Amino acid sequence: MTTATQSKWGRTRFGGSPALLIVLSVLGGLILSAAIAWLIWQFGPDAVVQRKALAAVVAGLVMLPATFALCWVIMLDRDTLAGAVKDRDSSIEGKWYDKAAFGAFHDLIAVCGLGAMALFLLPIDVDPAMVLCGVVMFAAVDTTVRYLLIKKVEG
């Protein structure tokens, strides 16, 4: 049920049109992406200037869609978004996600426990950042697979 105040892109929390929301989201995304590029330029690995500049520009461009989406979500008034669910927690999709996250959390505990035991017992030299990236990827994939299976079974 859409009303005159709802639109496909929604409106900002502080009023304004959908175009204002999009413009502010793009500007915010550009600023955040530029900040990420600057951080990589300043604190990234030592390299020749051309490589540092290329790494900073590529990182800024890669992060632009995510920073745009983050700014859009932060500034969006959900009540003005056409088709948005009023009570997200009581929706069937919310219940599916809760079940998936609950199961993935238990899988994560088991995998982290077994991984900690393996790292303790075996002489493995591994970068902690890569281990953490692997744990996050495992959690994301596990939750996604569980969600899709629950959706298929219950939906």
Asked if the model's pLDDT at residue 131 lies above 80, the reply is yes
Burial class (CB in 10 A: 0-12, 13-18, 19+), 116: exposed
The pLDDT, as a whole number, for residue 4 is 47
Q: How far apart are CA 30 and CA 64, in angstroms?
A: 6
d(CA 10, CA 111): 41
Residue type for position 102 = F
Question: Side chain identity at 148, as an amino acid letter?
Answer: L
How far apart are alpha carbons 116 and 110 in whole angstroms? 10
40-63 tens-digit pLDDT: 999 888 888 889 999 999 999 999
Q: How much is the pTM?
A: 0.64
- Top-confidence range, 1-10, 40-49, 78-87: 40-49
